[in-house]
A and B are shown apart, each in its own frame.
Chain A
Amino acid sequence: MTGSANDKITPKGFMALRLTVNNHPGVMSHVCGLFARRAFNVEGILVTPQQGGDTSRIWLVVNADARLGQMIRQVRKLYDVLEVLAFEADESSLERMDECMAGWEQAGPCAEIGA
């Protein structure tokens, strides 16, 4: 695709999509469901609430394949998605995502949470 939506895409490698979304319990389903049903794999996800908690920011690390422009257009149609921006990315971001949680992980899993 040569759509205007993603002129910057490199032929291989990763892209990071930054979605600003309305923050409610269904929004992750809307976003992830869209990628799943269009058979587009998501390599990494990071979700952070934004100030006030009315919106969230979803970072999606995805493969920069030819269908990405179409995916971005589809994501833009989602009612709860307020903005989509695409950034060039690489594997390092995936590793760093894990590192964010490393501190918690080091303390070991909780024995009892009723699970």
Chain B
Amino acid sequence: MFEGNGAELVIRLLERQGVKRIPGIPGGANLPLYDALGASRSIRHILARHEQGAGFMAQGMARTTGQPAVFFATSGPGATNTLTAIADAKLDSVPIICITGQVPSQLIGTDAFQEVDIYGMSLPVTKHNFLVRSVAELAHVIPEAFRIASPGRPGPVLIDIPKDVQTARIRLSELPEPAQPDPVEAPDVLALSQAAQMICAAKRPILLLGGGVASSGASSVARKLAEAASLPVTMSLLGLGALPDAHPLNLGMLGMHGTRAANILLEECDLLLVAGARLDDRATGRLERFCSEAKLIHIDIDQSELDKLKLAHLAITADVGAALAGLLPLVQAEAGQIGGQCEGRGPWLARVAQCKAENPSQFPGLDNPLTPYGLVRCTGELLASSEFSSEGEGAIVVTDVGQHQMRAAQAYPDLKPRAWLTSGGLGTMGFGLPAAIGAALANPARRVVCFSGDGSLQMNIQELATAAETGANVTVVLADNGGLGLVQQQQDLFYGRRIFASDYRVRIDFVKIAEGFGVRALDLNLSRAPLSDLERALKREGPCLVRVPVAAEDNVYPIVPPGAANIDMIGGEPARDMIGGEVCAAKGGN
């Protein structure tokens, strides 16, 4: 039995779904919802400073837990401010639910104060959206949003609720049951056995793992399959962390800033098994020249991703975890018939080892936390040290977008699925800080480190106030190069070195800014013992900002020129980077 208004019904239904935290900002059109939220004993509200920040906080919660996360915004500008965070969730398949207030029903379509058609505006960036037309619909729409957001290929859902629907009274003899994810269909057995045969018959196969592997919890079965079938493994930006760096089968990331070894070996493979990746242009480079000689087996839970960009020889619509688990015994049986190993894999594995040895990754300055790669690696090593990991689960790594993001992807030691949060598809500068706050609040026992750049940080810097207010355990490691580094890099390499509109003329004192927000901060450049100061900053309770000045001229290598084939990547060769740098072991093993 429930009796109350629409807003109270929404909050009650969210409580029943197990929602514990809702970031958001109140305004005229969602005040009834806030009034009801204020009375909730189980949901904590997190007051963001911008609705985009609230959306990314929800993403931080959803990306780490896998559960849909809810956030609130008011009508008009509040609603439009959410769109970037929603689009980001669409492209990276993150289950978030945005609940916006709307002007009263009778004013819709009259250009009322703070009225925008957020239903129409969010159509192309949501998995589905609702404009709730009556209070009775709420009982169906709220659980349905959870049913839509997470099963299958996850994605964002928007629910627009007019103010009069929020205040209308309703009486229900019983509340709807919380939504459970629908069961996913089992993968086609025939297709799996065909795949197993193709894998074992291949001479030079490669397994490509994408974000779908992380989101379906399939990393360990992916590793078992790779080991059982002797499959060298490469990963997309969102798929990183499925294998330990030092694993002999790990080739590292592919694509624009991937490893040389991965991009070279992909050119040579005769079978590409893609699991939970959508063959984005940043990963494949020029598509016609991507694995042009290889057969393609493509596994994805979203049928529309199969045959979208590259025609698959075998397309399997399935949950990646279920498909790989189904493949494993088939491959083992297939290999067992031919002496325990897939036939003739020896020469390929030898070639892989040789290619990796010839193309070790070049990360200059790894031991020095005052260098672009060093700040990533040193932070990772400090967080992996016993004092941190003794508390149980390891740190959560979040990035913004830019050079620091690529360096974190390349050089952070042993990333882990669901603990590696980065804006892949949309590449949203400003993602990092609010996503890190959301991750920290949803995982209070864990440390969260956010690698950011000065360009990215300024895009949602107001959320430092939210970090201070919530005491979130976030350490922002800021690589400050006084400009838009990745833009400068493209201007340097592809626009005749004409650096334009990508360097900031005002030097910002980020330490002072952070302190102004009530966040502790230090400039590592002024430290007499940078490594131990960094360690202290990482250990400290609550938010903290560490600024590290880096040179804007330092480019990220290798780089595949936009529109070029992966094999035509520039830079990152040992000979070139030996000068002034130090050679380190290839990430992905040596």
Contacts and interface: CB of A to CB of B under 8 A. Distances in A.
> Are A and B subunits of one complex?
yes
Interface string A59-85: 000000000011001101111000000
Contacts of B131: 25-26
B304 A74 contact: yes
Interface string B122-135: 01100111010000
Interface string A1-43: 1110000000000000000000001100110010001000000
Nearest to A72: B304
B311 interface: yes
Contact of A73 (B124, B148, B303): B303
B311 A1 contact: yes
Nearest to A78: B128
A66 to B, nearest CB: 11
Contacts of B307: 1-3, 69-70
B388 interface: no
A19 B123 CA distance: 19
Interface string B319-360: 000000000000000000000000000000000000000000
B304 A77 contact: yes
B120 A29 contact: yes
Contacts of B306: 3
Chain A binding surface, main DSSP class:
helix
Given A26-B119, A69-B307, A79 B128 contact: yes
Given A2-B311, A26-B131, A79-B128, A33 B123 contact: yes
A37 B87 CA distance: 14
20 contacts: A1-B307, A2-B307, A2-B311, A3-B315, A25-B131, A26-B129, A29-B120, A33-B123, A37-B124, A69-B307, A70-B304, A73-B303, A73-B304, A74-B304, A76-B304, A77-B302, A77-B304, A78-B128, A79-B128, A79-B148
Interface string B218-258: 00000000000000000000000000000000000000000
Nearest to B305: A73
B120 A70 contact: no
Question: What are the 9 tightest A-B residue pairs by CB atom distance, in nearest-first order?
Answer: A73-B304, A79-B128, A33-B123, A3-B307, A37-B124, A74-B304, A73-B303, A1-B307, A70-B308
B499 to A, nearest CB: 34
Contacts of B304: 70, 73-74, 76-77
A37 B121 CA distance: 12
Interface residues of B, number: 17
Interface residues on A, range: 10 to 19
Interface string B444-482: 000000000000000000000000000000000000000
Contacts of A3: 306-307, 315
A79 B308 CA distance: 20
A69 B303 CA distance: 11
Nearest to A4: B315
Nearest to A67: B308
Contacts of A30: 123
Given A70-B307, A77-B304, A29 B128 contact: no
Given A3-B306, A79-B127, 15 more contacts: A1-B311, A3-B315, A25-B131, A26-B119, A26-B131, A29-B119, A29-B123, A33-B123, A33-B124, A70-B304, A70-B307, A70-B308, A73-B303, A77-B302, A77-B304
Interface in B125-157: 127-129, 131, 148
Contacts of A33: 123-124
Contacts of A26: 119, 129, 131
Which of B127, B302, B307 has the most chain A CB atoms closer than 10 A to its own CB? B307
Nearest to A77: B304
Nearest to A71: B304
A48 to B, nearest CB: 22
A86 to B, nearest CB: 15
A6 to B, nearest CB: 11
A19 B302 CA distance: 20
Contacts of A2: 307, 311
Contacts of A76: 303-304
B218 to A, nearest CB: 22
Contacts of A37: 124
B95 to A, nearest CB: 14
Contacts of B303: 73, 76
A2 B164 CA distance: 50
Nearest to B307: A3
A1 B129 CA distance: 30
Contacts of A25: 131
A39 to B, nearest CB: 12
Contacts of B119: 26, 29
A69 B119 CA distance: 27
Contacts of A74: 304
Nearest to A74: B304
A16 to B, nearest CB: 21
Nearest to A36: B124
Contacts of B123: 29-30, 33
A73 B317 CA distance: 12
A76 B303 CA distance: 10
Contacts of A77: 302, 304
A2 B311 CA distance: 8
Nearest to B308: A70
A78 B304 CA distance: 12
A29 B131 CA distance: 12
Contacts of B311: 1-2
Contacts of B148: 79
A77 B154 CA distance: 12
